[in-house]
Structure 1
Amino acid sequence: MSLEPSPSSSSSPSRWIRVPQRTRLGEPCLKTDPLECVDLLSRARVAFRAGRTIVEVFRLAQLEAVVRMLEEHECDFVDALGRDLHKPRFETVVSELILVKNEALHAINNLKKWMQPQHVERNLSTTLDECLVFSEPLGVVLIVGTWCNPVQTCLVPLVGAIAAGNCAVISPCECTAHTAELLHRLIPFYLDNECFHGIRSGTHVLPEVVELKFDHVFFTGNREEGSRIATAAARTLTPVTLVLGGKNPCYVDQHCDISTTAQRIAWARFHNAGQSLVAPDYILCHTDVQAQLLQALKCCLMQFYGSDPRESRSYGRMVNLEIFNRTRDLLWRSGKVAVGGQVIEAEKYIAPTILTDVAESDPIMHQDIFGPVIPVLTVNNIEEAIAFINKKEKPLCVYAYSTNSKVISRLMSETSSGSFCSNDSILQSLMVALPFGGVGSSGMGSYHGRQSFETFSHRKSCLLRGTRFECVTYLRYPPYEDHNLSLMTWANTLSQRSQGWCQIL
């Protein structure tokens, strides 16, 4: 059976929306030249200006196609991520595919409500007018994913871009080459060929791509690359959303369930072999429970990965030798190994590692950790932990483990971060209902659920009024008279007392 739509189907707009044009799987996939990006951007702009993405039925069809793509090619995604990151099937399905499907299904179920104009409270001067905010798509957006979670960091923002009515160009990270290749082939197979495009470009040419002038750039990655992207976008006044890494602190109070705390921290730090933007980066442990926590973490690693994690089917590998060498060097130059520490360069393998006796001046406390290593530092009280966190740049996430609600409240209110989670880790970054993003050096803007729709929309203010009551509005016209000003000032003061604001114009 041919995968190409029939001539009769392409002549019918409604039928064409349901069955977008496709290319065949297996076609050669080459690195995209910047000049090709110009052509893709031009095609997307033509499609956007033609209004293809505006109608609700088109957006729904594309969102449903994303869900279908993930369901029909689950095994392909598992295989690609297995090749790139030695990622277990369980982790791929749970942290990549299900997450994207949840976002798409949530958007499908709420799209009609999101697209409706939002009415604004009226005042004295707009009693007979209609004030509303209309969400309109930005245009053609660029989405740049990262290698840590290459599927979700490309497709979750894409869901928001589609729901908001945009065209999009998606750039998966070249570090995860098999996953990038798969996305590059599947996107034109499932999504509209004029509105949505995948490109394969190295990080060194991404600023050049950004300067082609998109209507929004959504970037997930490290701070250095994010800074270059933001600089390139600024040259063309292109707005950006940046989700960047950071030193995510994890405070462990003396009043906590040590066993559960250790399990949740170990899972968060060592899944995907520690390659995560949102995992705990270091532990600030109360001195009284350090020994208990270390023992509990050791037990968790034995339970999770056995006596030799290298043989475990549940444990991954470093994405490439560059990340491997960087993580190994941080490991060797910082603190003392309490658990793990084994490395095998030929396999890009680093064992789950816990460091103690770490000094604040050690290299591992000054660079983001994208590997299975976690330093444990001690503090004497909650004040010391808060002061330690606040001395550093604002992180993407702050985690706190305690059964004392006052401790949790203090950590949440007295530190600043992109997100906060108590008595667990990472989950706040996966919730459809919670906006997620950075602050300060950990990024700008947010996404997930309704917030993704807002990120890729322009909220246009609209005032719909008639020509009645010119007997009042005439007061604003020249020639300006003191009598008219007095009347307007009186009306404004009167209205402020009852409504809080008013302008008779």
Structure 2
Amino acid sequence: MSPHTVLVSRLRAAWLSGKTRPMEYRVAQLEALGRFLDENKLDILEATALDMRKPPFEVELSEISICRSELNHTLNNLGTWMKDEHVDKNWVTQLDSAFIRKDPYGVVLIIGPWNYPINLLLVPLIGAIAAGNCVVMKPSEISRNVERLVAEMLPRYLDKDCFAVVTAGVEETTRLLENKFDYIFFTGSPSVGRIIMTAAAKHLTPVTLELGGKNPCYVSDSCNVQNVARRVAWGRFFNAGQTCVAPDYVLCSADMQEKLLPALREAITEFYGPNPQESPDFGRIVGDKHFQRVQALLRSGHAAIGGQTDAEARYIAPTVLVGVQQDDPIMEEEIFGPILPILTVTSVDDAIAFINARERPLAIYVFSSCKKVVNRVLEQTSSGGFCANDTIMHITLTSLPFGGIGQSGLGRYHGRSSFDTFSHPRSALLRGAGREAFNTLRYPPYARRCLPLLRATTETKRQAACTLL
């Protein structure tokens, strides 16, 4: 057998032993994960700086703090989440017990991405541990310094019988996916998501796919332009634009574009200084291949702000493009870099039509001081998530499920949704062994006279509706 098959078999034996099921065990592993974050904080900062020159402030906020928040929320609520959920019963089962048991799936595979290599690996891991699973983790090989850190240090904190880290490139990951897992959680691109789903289909393995997409940002004429510029610039250029929920393009009127451009220029200068390449608060593209792809997108439209590049440093300046056409390359794929195209529309109806003509995104953003405009965009579009008058901030709430729809993903996690994602809702009915006389009505030979009574005791009745005049 291959090493991966041996590993999966070992974890499956541990899961079948029931070791991961007690709440005390889950809590102990979650607390150990918290110690990993605390005791390796400086190493995490160093590894992310080596991989992407990610600013320490951004690492603390988007990697460590979000993981800590998720961990604390889970520990605060795990006892409640694990309880059986009792359900309504029909007349014939009134003396019985009917409930939903939250069962772990078994052996779970979590494949993390490179752009937030700690957050997007550990947050789903928290849900998998909380739900009582054994887990194989596969960090991205692209963020190689974080991959090395996780592979070397995380196993020192978690139970090696039940949790393992696998380092693998494309070929090794392909072989890893040949094994039977009970659940697969993948974060990455739609193209790789299709490969994951195809591999999972061979074993009928359920999946969560956290993908990406082109997240539109509609800016109406009724808004505070300076506030919009700061919030859009922060969301777009955080992590050098390598964020799946970053606003991918702006839709606004021609008049708003004229107002927004100087405000964006002012915000970028305020954030990163006159030369962002010298700013300690602006990151870099993760690798040469990714740099070349993003650099090529600069050929769409023309740069009203920024546009400078440095291949050796993998630096692309915070850039705003205007004159972009709907069929330009930059509008055909997720940018995943510090470039913000602006396209003009004539009205909110035009913006909604533009959004709905494309694949459903991971997030939609709208800026307006008019609640009617915000509600129209919310009600007449579809996306994984929605945020009004800000960007990215909706993902900081553990109370909100996070996930895509259609091309942008499949499934949900964060907070209670993470626990539910990695739990099988097992329906259970515990009937009494006696009272057999009540059961004879449903046994052959069938008697028509028994049917009305059976229907009366088993069917759910429509409740009377109250009409407000």
TM-score range, shorter chain: over 0.9
Partners in 2 of 1:180 and 1:473 — Cα distance?
60
Equivalent position of 2:450 in the other structure = 484
Match of 1:286 among 231, 250, 253: 253
Relative distance call for 1:197 and 1:497 in structure 2 (3 A) is: closer
8 A contact 1:399–1:422 mirrored in 2: yes
Task: Say which is worse superposed, 55-64 or 196-205, in terms of deviation.
Answer: 196-205
Partners in 1 of 2:173 and 2:336 — Cα distance?
22
Deviations 1:228-287 (Å, cap 9, x if unpaired)? 111111111111100001010000000111111111110000011111111000000122
Equivalent position of 1:464 in the other structure = 430
Partners in 2 of 1:153 and 1:117 — Cα distance?
29
Displacement after TM superposition at 1:489 (Å): 3.8
In the alignment, is residue 89 of structure 1 matched against residue 56 of structure 2?
yes
Match of 1:308 among 269, 275, 286: 275
Gaps of 5+ in 1: 1-33, 501-505
The amino acid of 2:402's aligned partner reads: F
The amino acid of 1:457's aligned partner reads: S
Relative distance call for 1:390 and 1:58 in structure 2 (3 A) is: same
Displacement after TM superposition at 1:471 (Å): 2.7
Q: How does 1:211-230 map to 2 (within 5 A)?
A: 211-230=178-197
Equivalent position of 1:70 in the other structure = 37
Partners in 1 of 2:388 and 2:40 — Cα distance?
35
Q: How does 1:147-226 map to 2 (within 5 A)?
A: 147-226=114-193
Match of 2:378 among 398, 412, 415: 412
Q: How does 1:291-440 map to 2 (within 5 A)?
A: 291-332=258-299, 334-440=300-406
Relative distance call for 1:491 and 1:450 in structure 2 (3 A) is: closer
Q: TM-score, normalised by structure 2?
A: 0.97
8 A contact 2:92–2:458 mirrored in 1: no
Deviations 1:393-426 (Å, cap 9, x if unpaired)? 0111100011111111111111111111101111
8 A contact 2:91–2:457 mirrored in 1: no
Relative distance call for 1:213 and 1:360 in structure 2 (3 A) is: same
The amino acid of 2:107's aligned partner reads: V
8 A contact 1:136–1:460 mirrored in 2: yes
Q: How does 1:86-125 map to 2 (within 5 A)?
A: 86-125=53-92
Q: TM-score, normalised by structure 1?
A: 0.90
The amino acid of 1:199's aligned partner reads: V
In the alignment, is residue 442 of structure 1 matched against residue 408 of structure 2?
yes
Partners in 1 of 2:82 and 2:420 — Cα distance?
10
Displacement after TM superposition at 1:208 (Å): 2.6
Partners in 2 of 1:492 and 1:63 — Cα distance?
43
8 A contact 1:187–1:196 mirrored in 2: no
Partners in 2 of 1:135 and 1:360 — Cα distance?
47
The amino acid of 2:204's aligned partner reads: L
Deviations 1:186-227 (Å, cap 9, x if unpaired)? 121100011111011113442331220111000000111111
8 A contact 2:236–2:246 mirrored in 1: yes
Task: Say which is worse superposed, 433-442 or 202-211, in terms of deviation.
Answer: 202-211
The amino acid of 2:461's aligned partner reads: Q
Partners in 2 of 1:55 and 1:145 — Cα distance?
27
Equivalent position of 1:21 in the other structure = none
Deviations 1:404-451 (Å, cap 9, x if unpaired)? 111111111111111111011111123211100010011100100010
Equivalent position of 2:213 in the other structure = 246
The amino acid of 1:366's aligned partner reads: E
Partners in 2 of 1:39 and 1:496 — Cα distance?
53
8 A contact 2:441–2:450 mirrored in 1: yes
Relative distance call for 1:490 and 1:452 in structure 2 (3 A) is: closer
Equivalent position of 1:496 in the other structure = 461
Partners in 2 of 1:157 and 1:312 — Cα distance?
32
Deviations 1:336-365 (Å, cap 9, x if unpaired)? 100111111111110000000100011000
Q: How does 1:30-69 map to 2 (within 5 A)?
A: 35-69=2-36
Displacement after TM superposition at 1:468 (Å): 4.1
3-state secondary structure, aligned to 1:264: helix
Relative distance call for 1:447 and 1:254 in structure 2 (3 A) is: same
Relative distance call for 1:203 and 1:424 in structure 2 (3 A) is: farther
Root mean square deviation of aligned Cα: 1.4
Displacement after TM superposition at 1:381 (Å): 0.5
Partners in 2 of 1:353 and 1:261 — Cα distance?
16
Match of 2:244 among 273, 277, 299: 277
8 A contact 1:261–1:401 mirrored in 2: yes
Displacement after TM superposition at 1:486 (Å): 3.5
Partners in 1 of 2:132 and 2:389 — Cα distance?
38
8 A contact 2:91–2:458 mirrored in 1: no
3-state secondary structure, aligned to 2:439: helix
Partners in 2 of 1:497 and 1:455 — Cα distance?
31
8 A contact 1:208–1:232 mirrored in 2: no
Deviations 1:15-38 (Å, cap 9, x if unpaired)? xxxxxxxxxxxxxxxxxxx93222
Partners in 1 of 2:18 and 2:292 — Cα distance?
49
Percent sequence identity over aligned pairs: 47
Partners in 2 of 1:252 and 1:151 — Cα distance?
32
Gaps of 5+ in 2: none
Q: When the two structures are aligned, how many residues end up with a matched partner?
A: 465
